[in-house]
Amino acid sequence: MRIVLGIIVLLLASWFFSALIGTPEETASAQTPAEWVSSEQCRECHSQIWDEWASSPHANSWLNEDVRVQSDQFANKDCIDCHAPRPIFETGLGERVLPRSARRAEGVDCLTCHLLPDGKMAGKIDNPRAACQPTTRRELQRVEMCSGCHDQHKTVQQWKATPFAEHNEGCMECHMPYRDGTPKSGRFHTMPGGHYIEMVRSAVTFMGERDGAGVPSVTIANVRGGHSYPTDERSRASDIWWRPLPEDADTLNEAGVAAGGGAWRHLHRIRDPYRHEKDIESTLLHFGESRTLTIEDPDAVGGVEVALVYKRSPYYRDPQTGIARKIDAVTNPFEDAELVHRVTVAPR
């Protein structure tokens, strides 16, 4: 009888302790799904991460209006490879991605990065009791998780030429930081990048001055990009615009530049041309590089206002028609660009 009681006590104690150790996440869904068919299956247990991801450009990679228009609603199937890729652990870390036939609308989703070929999930820890049976896969931190898509534009190659690579500071350090700065609370899954103007601002510095001869100039430097600025071929661009400093220079409008003032004039474009644009030179600003541009114009004798803007498309669309305009026909770049930095240079 004592032996039976002892066994019962032991069983109760083991159940009690396992319940203590187990997290609410694990007990929320006790049964492994028959098949992983949607990232929505992850939501029940990982709502915070799911919500972060759902607001990210990765979640929007299939629904993004710009992409849908440019790909003719994905009738151009070449776009599917990166916009709805197969699980990375299936195709192989660092290998070129392949397109999937199912759940395309979920874009670059939970399963893309976490689903393992055996149906388990790559995670930080082993936990066979959880519904998704996470398995420790340190590769999740590697740049090769991102390179299948992002190195198509040589972003990882650019990064490898920086001191960040020497110090093993990979994509995660900037684009998936820890929520509270420590591993304890996990990493943000919004994965901020070029869609987050604050992050773009942190990548470059922008300063203006006037030399001894009175010629104004601006210097842009890639100090924290971690790769070239901007890192993309074709779509991304960063332009420098200037104009004589308006009288009401102290009052800024909603774009962040002086209210009023005249037309903006184009000074410089930073962009990697698409492969068939053979007459255009690549002007990417590599990490650690600074570039000084002088404004040699009679109108620049007085004060000047200079703006660095960031674009997710290479052209400026007419706000009324959406039709792309030639750059010299643009007078207000802020109709189709975001301000990164603004400087003013005092009159001579």
Partner 1 sequence: MRLRAALALVPLLGACGPGAEGGDAAPAAAPAGAPGARPTRDVLDATLAELGVSRRKGVISARELRANRGLMPGESADLPEEGDAPLDATSAPTLDPAGASGAAAEPLDPEMVEFRDGLVGMALSDPRYLKTALADVVATSEELSPSMAAGLRERARPADELKVLMQFARAAPSAPVAAALAELTLTHDDPTVRAFASWALVPAGETEGSGAVVTTLLRRLKYEKDTQALIWAARALASHGNLSGLAALSAIASGPASDDAAAANQQFYEVVRSTVGREDVAVEDANGVMADWASGSVDRPSPAPDALRASVWRLISDLSGEHFQLRGVDDARFILSRLGPWAAAELGAALEDEDDYVRLHVTQVLERMGQRGGGAAPSLRLALRDQSDAVAGAAAEALAAVAPEACLPALLARLEEAPPHEVRVAIIRAAGRSATVPAPLLLGCFREAGAPTDLRLAAAAGLLGTDLGTGDENEVLNWLAETMTRPFGDPAGAEALVGAWVAKVEGSGGDELRAAWSDFGPKQAIIHTADQARARRSGRAALLQAHLTVSR
Size of the site for partner 1 (CB under 8 A): 64
- Using CB under 8 A as the binding rule, the residues of this chain from 39 to 68 that contact partner 1 are 40, 54, 60, 62-66, 68
Is position 332 an interface residue for partner 1 (rule: CB under 8 A)? no
Residue 327 and residue 238: Cα distance in Å, rounded? 12
Shorter beta-carbon distance to partner 1: residue 93 or 327: 93
- Judged by CB under 8 A, the residue of 56, 61, 127, 147 near partner 1 is 147
Is position 77 an interface residue for partner 1 (rule: CB under 8 A)? yes
Shorter beta-carbon distance to partner 1: residue 144 or 289: 144
Is position 98 an interface residue for partner 1 (rule: CB under 8 A)? yes
Shorter beta-carbon distance to partner 1: residue 258 or 284: 284
Is position 142 an interface residue for partner 1 (rule: CB under 8 A)? yes
Is position 72 an interface residue for partner 1 (rule: CB under 8 A)? no
Cα–Cα nearest to 53, from 192, 201, 184: 192
Residue type, 136: T
Please give the structure tokens belonging to residue 44: 């029940």
Shorter beta-carbon distance to partner 1: residue 38 or 294: 38
Shorter beta-carbon distance to partner 1: residue 147 or 217: 147
Residue type, 16: F
- Judged by CB under 8 A, the residue of 134, 170, 193, 314 near partner 1 is 170
Partners of residue 207 on adjacent β-strands: 219
Residue 340: CB minimum distance to partner 1, A: 20
Residue 229 and residue 231: Cα distance in Å, rounded? 5
Inter-residue contact 58 to 105 (CB < 8 Å): no
Rounded to 5°, angle at Cα 322 from 317 and 324: 40
- 3-state SS assignment for residue 234: coil
Q: Which stretch binds partner 1 (CB under 8 A): 13-21, 150-158, 214-222, 285-293?
A: 150-158
Rounded to 5°, angle at Cα 195 from 190 and 201: 105
Residue 81 and residue 75: Cα distance in Å, rounded? 13
- Judged by CB under 8 A, the residue of 7, 13, 69, 263 near partner 1 is 69
Shorter beta-carbon distance to partner 1: residue 2 or 182: 182
Q: End-to-end CA distance of the chain, in Å?
A: 100
Sign of CA dihedral 326, 332, 335, 340: positive
Is position 211 an interface residue for partner 1 (rule: CB under 8 A)? no
Please give the structure tokens belonging to residue 130: 């959880």
Shorter beta-carbon distance to partner 1: residue 39 or 217: 39
Strand positions, DSSP E, the chain: 121-123, 134-136, 204-210, 216-222, 237-244, 265-270, 290-294, 304-311, 316-317, 324-325, 338-345
Residue 126: CB minimum distance to partner 1, A: 16
- Judged by CB under 8 A, the residue of 250, 321, 326, 328 near partner 1 is 321
Inter-residue contact 104 to 84 (CB < 8 Å): yes
Provide the binding-site residues for partner 1, judged by CB under 8 A: 32-35, 37-38, 40, 54, 60, 62-66, 68-69, 73, 77-78, 81-82, 86, 93-96, 98-106, 117-120, 133, 138-139, 141-144, 147, 151-152, 154, 157, 160, 165-166, 168, 170, 275-276, 278, 317, 321-324
